[in-house]
Amino acid sequence: MIVVDTSVWSHALRRASEPDPPHPAVALLRRLIEQDADLCIPGVVLQELLSGVRHEAQFRRLRRVLHTFPVVLATEEAHVAAAQLFNACRSGGVAATAIDCLIAATATQAEAKLLAIDGDYEHMARVVPLELVDWRHSRP
- Cα(95)–Cα(109) distance, integer angstroms: 21
- Cα(107)–Cα(42) distance, integer angstroms: 8
| Residue 84 CB contacts under 8 Å (≥ 6 apart), including other chains | 105
Class of domain 2-137: alpha beta
Q: At what angle do helices 43-50 and 98-109 cross, to 10 degrees?
A: 140
Query: What does the pLDDT average to over 114-139?
Result: 90
Q: What is the pTM of this model?
A: 0.90
Report pLDDT digits (tens) over 102-111: 999 999 999 9
For residues 20 and 68, which has the higher predicted lDDT (pLDDT)? 68
pLDDT reading at 140 higher than 70: no
Percent of the chain with pLDDT over 70: 94
pLDDT reading at 18 higher than 90: no
| Residue 100 CB contacts under 8 Å (≥ 6 apart), including other chains | 118, 120, 121, 124
Report pLDDT digits (tens) over 35-82: 999 999 999 999 999 997 889 999 999 999 999 999 999 999 999 999
pLDDT reading at 19 higher than 80: no
Residue 47, amino acid: Q
